[in-house]
Chains A and B, each alone.
Chain A
């Protein structure tokens, strides 16, 4: 029994709750568990059958003595059982995780049954396949007019032929982590889409996201592309309502077309280091200059380092900046700080790995510390939290931190994390060195981890 069990004040028990609430509680459990509650008591015997949220987890059927096929069988029998008892046409959320490679016909039947209901709002399918074959989904998935959220993960291929109409007028959330997908065709039929997350593993010939046009209603975009065996032509992000952008591009995009995003709040950029990207990266930064939160991965920073003449836009709303480096470069960082007049939080990751594009980057010249001509205004008036990860006590790093300690007049906390397995002696040495630096802020606390 838990220590908080103090039931003296009330005589309400779960049994006094109406069926609707009990069913709501069950909807947060895996369906297998909900089904099992039917043996708890008479009241609970048929409760689970009123569920209109299903969470079917095939992995929970595995056991050491069972073969994969046997596990699949049991899972399939289980799902058949569930769909038998619940009111299929009332299902609002349907989630299935598992492997059903021997039962693709049955799987299609389940999906068709569920999508035929007028109330289906959320569909989540995570279908993996250890044998290397893949699943195709019935068209009913893509013509389910009530669907608000569609999440597909696994060994699935999404392709359409011209005869089938894709209709997803209510879809607001789309998440794809599949082998490949005809993305453009799919997106062109999602006029209300607000959140899009796509992880592309590899491109196979014939299915191409060479031109991706995003619906203008989009507010949140996460695009992660691991496809590095092809050059993608054109990525067009014309989404005026965009609030959140997360780009992780390992592929080489020769052209990215952006507009300004007046509503942007947060952006995370992981643009692989490639000549082609350097061309448009400043355009991208300009487009997101209204962001409040910005995270630049090391690859992106490498692009910026490569172009010393790059002019950063003014990030006049930026409150938090997270920046990663393969090799710490204080020049680029100071340049950036000059453009962030209201920055309050600065987080630095000094030893991140970089993904290289089709062309390998030239070896980076080691940089060194040069005293800035003028102090960035945010350092004087706004910057109050600094975090430095993977600090190696290089001279440039030390000088940078010392500079901020001296000039930062409103600093509250400066936290240094050394790399793991750093000796205690070295840590002590670092602390000692930094402790003697005169601090511009009387409230500034220096911590070492």
Chain B
């Protein structure tokens, strides 16, 4: 609402009332100050001049029932008072969202239709809290979700469903090239590099991506504490509970990625993601640049250089490294930006 609008309205705004019509057809009077907190109502009043009488009552979106309107107005009534401290507002909001899940859904839908962003965010957060840390069964129960995925679908939630043969071909080519490159690097840097063996089974790979599976009992994984320079602590939100250790029985039966010695994608699986050597293929529209199936030699060179840099860094001490960085850092960063834009995803050391 602009300053000018406020100035125009002010004389008439001595505790004036606005007429609103809810989804069931009933009409009620509401203090204008409070109703104006909702952008949609505000707009109706200012641009269309509605709401000043019973006949010109603002007809609210159909998601706004009388009971939800009442709640929304309570929210507005509290927050439109300017003098409140942040603590007060937060405390009010915490109590405000203590209601059943369905009511919350109804409320968020109504708030959304009225474009009342702060309330939408508040309720969305509350609903998100109901998802976090729970098993899928619990979530389905809370939200009354139908369990309508097949077992197979549950285990491969990230299968690429475009099924584009071009993508598949490209993936195979990328995988081949990447494997090639990796071999060459490995041979080159065998003394310098540490041995990095990918011991993960396909099941493990699927596990962490799934996050949580069917009936597994959740085990909360401990957090890796970051190095704390200061007294400030970082709160980490627990993720959806997952089974981090042993494989689950259901996964065993659905190996879409066959273990093969040369590491290519086997079969017509359109699963873009898991190849035995653990590398990933990008989606076709992910690349901005050229689509030739070779690997840009500049990138390769840069990768080699970076590996050597890294190895060197490991072997020198801190001060030296620091000095090193400050002088050579400039060249490195400029080459990075020069080759920017190439959509090549690679995991390397």
Contact = CB atoms under 8 A, between A and B. Distances in A.
B322 interface: yes
B89 interface: no
Contacts of B103: 6-7, 9-10, 12
A84 B101 contact: no
Contacts, number: 258
Interface string B110-123: 00100000001100
Given A13-B105, A77-B278, A85-B158, A4 B334 contact: no
B236 A9 contact: no
A229 to B, nearest CB: 14
A57 B208 CA distance: 13
Nearest to A199: B230
A73 B348 CA distance: 10
Contacts of A81: 158, 209, 273, 280
A105 B128 contact: no
Nearest to B104: A14
Contacts of B340: 112, 138, 140
B48 to A, nearest CB: 25
A133 B337 contact: no
B223 A102 contact: no
Contact of B131 (A29, A39, A83, A99): A29
A61 interface: yes
A65 B105 CA distance: 41
Interface in A23-66: 24-30, 32-33, 35-45, 57-65
B240 A57 contact: no
Contacts of A263: none
Nearest to B303: A105
Contacts of B141: 1
A15 interface: yes
Interface of A: 1-2, 4-7, 9-18, 20-21, 24-30, 32-33, 35-45, 57-65, 68-71, 73-74, 76-78, 80-81, 83-85, 88, 97, 99, 102-106, 108-109, 112-113, 116, 126, 128-134, 136, 138-140, 154-155, 157, 159, 161, 163-164, 177, 199, 201, 204, 206-207
Return the 9 tightest CB-CB contacts between A and B, nearest first: A36-B211, A62-B224, A28-B128, A38-B157, A12-B106, A7-B102, A33-B240, A14-B143, A63-B244
Given A12-B105, A35-B157, A106-B346, 15 more contacts: A7-B102, A13-B101, A14-B144, A14-B145, A16-B109, A33-B131, A41-B145, A59-B225, A64-B222, A77-B208, A77-B280, A80-B345, A81-B273, A106-B348, A164-B333
14 contacts: A9-B67, A16-B105, A33-B131, A40-B139, A57-B236, A61-B221, A71-B224, A84-B272, A102-B349, A132-B318, A133-B313, A140-B337, A199-B230, A204-B322
